[in-house]
Amino acid sequence: MTTTETTATGKAVEVLRIDGLTLDLPAEHGAHRILHGIDLALRPGRIHGLAGESGSGKTMTGLAVLGLLPDGARTGGRIRLDGTDLLTLPPRQLGALRGRAVSMVFQDPSTSLHPMLSIGHQLTDHLRHHRKLDRKAARARAVELLGQVRIPNPAAALRSYPHQFSGGMRQRIAIAIALACDPQVLIADEPTTALDVTVQAGVLRLLRRLCDELGLAVLLITHDLGVMSALADSVSVMRRGRVVETGPRGQVLTAPRHEYTRTLLDALPGRNTP
């Protein structure tokens, strides 16, 4: 079931395509199926949203793309990045892609950054590993990245530690780290859930700008339909390990075809107020 969307821009080719992704996790008796055949496609410069309640398999789908699944996980189907199937890739080659071609921003910036390492250390480590940059070049790139995510005074920030920044600033730093190696695909798992609304607005604007400027293909995982509406170009709604509805943002959020999407929208405050 392939949706052949005709896009106006010629460069809207799929960078990442997930076909029939299944996931089984070991349980007490045999295996427990978490994902029942997920189909998704990500295009450069586009943000695709993945909505659903906790436990619906949103995060597992994101982790599957990065090959960061729990021990004993068995997968089926295909995840193709520019034609290469990530699921069958040997661990070494996948490791080389992870953080370089595909990277991730997590929910809580206070736990995803290392508290004892300076920002500079965390930003350059990974540049030196993947890009083989020398100390000076990595530093220059780090300053450029921090500027890109609007951290005031980047040079001083490199010498600082995560606890010296507010939650919003930390999430910006986490985004800078994810962008360090010019990934094609960015997976953002609840990137603003831990933030206040006023701070959230800034991070949402940043993600949109980076996506447009760098031509990133973004998979935005969030349960917040407001965030979804502000940022996503297209939306998939997940429930119990299945995608129940996929479509353009406006259609999914205003004229949902699936009963479950309607239930989610009805659960929002203000929907039933007179």
Partner 1 sequence: MTSQSRPPLLGVDGLVVQYRRPGAAPTRAVGGVSLEVRSGEVVGLVGESGCGKSTLARAVCGLTPAEEGRITFDGTPVRPLNVRRRDPALTAVQMVFQDPYGSLNPRRRVGAQIVDGIRAAAGRGETDGPRTPEEYLSRVGLPESDAQRYPHEFSGGQRQRIAIARALAARPRLLVGDEPISALDASAQLHVATLMRSLALESGAGLLFISHDLSVVRHIADRIAVMYLGRIVETGPAAELWDSPRHPYTQALLASIPQPDGAGVLPAELPGDVPDPSAPPSGCHFHPRCPHAFDGCDREEPRLTSGGVACHLHPAA
- CA 53/CA 105 separation, integer angstroms: 19
Judged by beta carbon, residue 50 or residue 97, the one nearer partner 1 is 50
| Residue 160 contacts partner 1 per CB under 8 A | no
Among 7-15, 65-73, 172-180, 249-257, which window interacts with partner 1 (CB under 8 A)?
Answer: 249-257
Q: Give the x-and-dash track for 42-71 against partner 1 (CB under 8 A).
A: -----------xx-----------------
| Residue 157 contacts partner 1 per CB under 8 A | no
CB 269 → partner 1: shortest distance, Å?
A: 4
Judged by beta carbon, residue 1 or residue 197, the one nearer partner 1 is 197
CB 49 → partner 1: shortest distance, Å?
A: 11
Among 128, 223, 242, 258, binds partner 1 (CB under 8 A): 223
| Residue 273 contacts partner 1 per CB under 8 A | yes
Interface with partner 1 in residues 4-33 (CB under 8 A)? none
| Residue 231 contacts partner 1 per CB under 8 A | yes
Among 6-14, 79-87, 89-97, 190-198, which window interacts with partner 1 (CB under 8 A)?
Answer: 190-198
| Residue 205 contacts partner 1 per CB under 8 A | yes
CB 237 → partner 1: shortest distance, Å?
A: 13
Which residues does 64 contact at the CB level (< 8 Å), separation at least 6?
A: 18, 21, 23, 35, 75, 79, 87
Judged by beta carbon, residue 118 or residue 229, the one nearer partner 1 is 229
Q: Which residues bind partner 1 (CB under 8 A)?
A: 53-54, 166-169, 196-202, 204-205, 208, 223-233, 249-254, 264-265, 267-270, 273
